[in-house]
Amino acid sequence: MDIILAVLGLIFAFVGIIGAFLPVLPGPITGWVGLLLLHLTDTVPMNWLFLGITLAVAILIWILDYMIPAMGTKKFGGSKYGVIGTTVGLIVGLFSPIPFGFLIGAFVGAFVGEMIYDRNDKKRATKAAFGSFLGFITSAFLKFIVASIFLGLYVMKLWEYREIFGL
């Protein structure tokens, strides 16, 4: 059972990194579930302080993930349409054959959203789209850093108890 929990935990830790860029997955929280699964094994002792601190960090980043793109959009004069457009463009860009399509999609989506809001002001729409895009990039970068740290912590714990797992 310990091996199954360890493998599932590793999968969750990797999915946490993928979730840093996908809006449908809470990246750091998913990575934290990987840490929890490792600590639920009989092999690795439960460390409630460690799990509590990492959970608090994951929740904080999850909350900031919703605030940062909106702050970027508003800072550059955008509307809710730009934020919605960023999310839609990101999802469409994920399925695009273009390399880094999700980045291009986020910007184009924000621009289209702003143009729907006000068709007559392309300059403001471009500025707001840039703000929304910058907010998305900042948020994704923070989630990626935290999810990567969680994966690193997972690997360190696994390495510490490697003999027991047969590694």
* Domain positions in the chain: 2-165
Task: Please give the pLDDT value at position 53.
Answer: 96
Amino acid at 64: L
Residue 77's pLDDT band (cuts 50, 70, 90): confident
Task: Please give the pLDDT value at position 130.
Answer: 85
Task: Please give the pLDDT value at position 89.
Answer: 85
Task: Please give the pLDDT value at position 167.
Answer: 66
Residue 39 CB coordination number (10 Å): 19
Closest-CA residue to 21 (of 151, 150, 139): 139
Crossing angle (nearest 10°) for helices 101-117 and 122-160 = 140
104 burial type by CB count under 10 A (0-12 exposed, 13-18 middle, 19+ buried): middle
Task: Please give the pLDDT value at position 15.
Answer: 94
Give me the percent of the chain exceeding a pLDDT of 90.
35
Task: Please give the pLDDT value at position 147.
Answer: 95
